[in-house]
């Protein structure tokens, strides 16, 4: 019997829902069954009441009420929805619709600026793909001998595209630089002699003999130019003007007449000098041009070496670099160094120098440009001489 009971218990553990056989003997339960946990009841109008052991239902006590006799529950009313506070609406599982206005779209298209950039990049990629699609496979070239002419056209197209791009860049660089036009400046030098006048009794006072020198000039414009165009003044082309008279006639303190440009200088069409005298005067006129950009006169040794007399600083440095490349003076291992030959060594007084040091070493070798020198004789034989 013990063996049967053990077998039944094991079978019951394995098959809890199996019905015991009718002729099986029920053995007393050794251990009581564990109590079933009761769920916590929440007070509310829609929750069921707790059932009493003897039958019926009782209302759950509310929080914070003192113990005492139970009040009769109020009969519940049948409502189609759960009671809520006033002012609140029942929530639904769906998300409420967004009633905000859509963001404004930029004018000129539905896309943004970034999209336009990406589209431009896509266009370049498409162009590359199209170029790759134009190339014929090797099998087609072998089958069609005339396809070589097509490949030559593709190569010519690539060469033409590169040439157009290079010319376009050259035009853009040229537009950035100021346009230069060559014009002729004609200078007119004239003098007028005023003879002496004797004093007249009861009339005008007498005057000593004198002369007047005038230096004028103008640009030789083309006949096709607009006559209403504003013309440049003669003084705007020069930085300074010096007239040197005969030192023996006018002395060391009165033989120089100078004009120098200042920020407040008023432009004029000419210069005039008046001095007393009745003898011919030899004079020298020095005109220093106002170069834009600045130009410099090279040291005679460097000028003979580079073949440059007066030029701007970038042109001088470029000419020196061309000389270095032509004579292969750049160091083979340290490319930033230049090995001077015997001529550069005499000019720069060093056997080796860095390329970055060239502008600094050029400063002592750059001088102001030579002025325009005009020799003129002021004649007093006639009333006016040119």
Same domain for 275 and 339: no
The domain of 249 spans 185-196+207-291+372-385
Q: Can you give the CATH number for the domain in which 234 is found?
A: 2.60.40
Same domain for 189 and 277: yes
Contact assessment for residue 190 and residue 385, using Cβ atoms and an 8 Å cutoff = yes
Q: Which two tokens stand for residue 356?
A: 């970055």
Same domain for 351 and 378: no
Q: CA 125, CA 230: separation in Å to the nearest integer?
A: 52
Share of the chain above pLDDT 70, in %: 63
| 7-16, 58-67, 275-284, 341-350: the lowest-pLDDT one | 58-67
> pLDDT tens digits for 180-229?
778 889 999 999 999 888 776 666 677 889 999 999 998 887 656 666 77
Q: Can you give the CATH number for the domain in which 339 is found?
A: 1.10.245.10
Q: How many CB atoms lie within 10 A of CB 215?
A: 22
> pLDDT tens digits for 131-162?
556 777 888 778 888 888 888 888 888 889 98
Same domain for 255 and 381: yes
Same domain for 243 and 352: no
Q: CA 181, CA 268: separation in Å to the nearest integer?
A: 22
Predicted confidence band of residue 96 (pLDDT cuts 50, 70, 90): low
Whether 136 is covered by a domain: the verdict is no
Whether 334 is covered by a domain: the verdict is yes
Same domain for 301 and 285: no
> pLDDT tens digits for 269-293?
999 999 999 899 999 999 999 998 8
CA torsion sign for 130, 132, 135, 137 is: negative
The DSSP code sequence of 318-350 is HHHHHHHHHTT-B-SSSTTEEE--HHHHHHHS-
Note if the pTM is more than 0.85.
Answer: no
Q: How many CB atoms lie within 10 A of CB 287?
A: 19
Contact assessment for residue 214 and residue 221, using Cβ atoms and an 8 Å cutoff = no
Same domain for 349 and 237: no
Same domain for 283 and 211: yes
Contact assessment for residue 194 and residue 209, using Cβ atoms and an 8 Å cutoff = yes
- Domain count across the chain: 2
Q: Between the CA atoms of 278, 280, 284 and 287, what dihedral angle is there, to the nearest 10 degrees? A: 60
Q: CA 301, CA 360: separation in Å to the nearest integer?
A: 18
Whether 189 is covered by a domain: the verdict is yes
The DSSP code sequence of 66-122 is PS-PPPPPPPPP--SS----TT-----SSPPP--SPPPPPPTTSSS-HHHHHHHHHH
Contact assessment for residue 325 and residue 338, using Cβ atoms and an 8 Å cutoff = no
The DSSP code sequence of 111-174 is S-HHHHHHHHHHHHHHHHHHHHHHSPPHHHHHH-TTHHHHHHHHHHHHHHHHHHHHHHHHHHHH
Same domain for 321 and 346: yes
| pLDDT for res 99 | 61
Q: Which segments within 195-333 are labelled E, that is strand?
A: 210-219, 238-244, 256-260, 270-276, 281-289, 296-298, 310-311
| Average pLDDT for 152-178 | 84
Same domain for 355 and 224: no
**Closest C-alpha among 348, 265, 263 to residue 305:** 348
């Amino acid at each position: 019997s013990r063996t049967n009971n053990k077998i039944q218990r094991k079978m019951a553990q394995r098959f809890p829902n199996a019905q015991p056989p009718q002729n099986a003997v029920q053995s007393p339960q050794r251990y009581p069954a564990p109590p079933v946990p009761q769920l916590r009841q929440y007070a509310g109008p829609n929750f069921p009441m707790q059932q009493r052991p003897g039958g019926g239902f009782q209302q759950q006590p509310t929080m914070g009420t003192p113990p005492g006799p139970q009040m009769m529950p109020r009969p519940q009313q049948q409502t189609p929805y759960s009671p809520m506070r006033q002012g609140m609406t029942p929530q639904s599982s769906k998300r409420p619709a967004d009633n905000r206005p859509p963001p404004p779209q930029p004018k000129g298209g539905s896309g943004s600026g970034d999209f336009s950039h990406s589209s431009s990049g896509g266009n370049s990629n498409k162009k590359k793909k199209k170029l790759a699609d134009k190339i014929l496979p090797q099998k087609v070239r072998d089958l069609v001998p005339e396809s070589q002419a097509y490949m030559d056209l593709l190569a010519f197209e690539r060469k033409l595209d590169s040439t157009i791009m290079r010319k376009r860049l050259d035009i853009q660089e040229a537009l950035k630089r100021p346009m230069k036009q060559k014009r002729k400046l004609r200078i007119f030098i004239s003098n007028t002699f005023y003879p002496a006048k004797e004093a007249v009794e009861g009339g005008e006072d007498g005057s000593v003999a004198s002369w007047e020198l005038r230096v004028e000039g103008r640009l030789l414009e083309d006949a096709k130019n607009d006559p209403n165009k504003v013309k440049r003044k003669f003084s705007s082309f020069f930085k300074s003007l010096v007239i040197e008279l005969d030192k023996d006639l006018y002395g060391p303190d009165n033989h120089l007449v100078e004009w120098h440009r200042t920020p407040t200088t008023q432009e004029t069409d000419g210069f005039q000098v008046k001095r007393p005298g009745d003898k011919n005067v030899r004079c020298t006129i020095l005109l220093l041009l106002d170069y834009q950009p600045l130009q410099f006169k090279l040291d005679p040794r460097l000028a003979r070496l580079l073949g440059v007399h007066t030029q701007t600083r970038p042109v001088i440095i470029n000419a020196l670099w061309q000389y270095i490349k032509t004579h292969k003076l750049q160091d083979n291992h340290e490319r930033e160094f230049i090995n001077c030959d015997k001529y550069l060594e005499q000019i720069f007084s060093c056997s080796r120098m860095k390329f970055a040091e060239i502008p600094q070493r050029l400063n002592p070798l750059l001088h102001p440009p030579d002025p325009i020198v005009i020799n003129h004789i002021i004649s007093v034989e006639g009333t006016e001489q040119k």
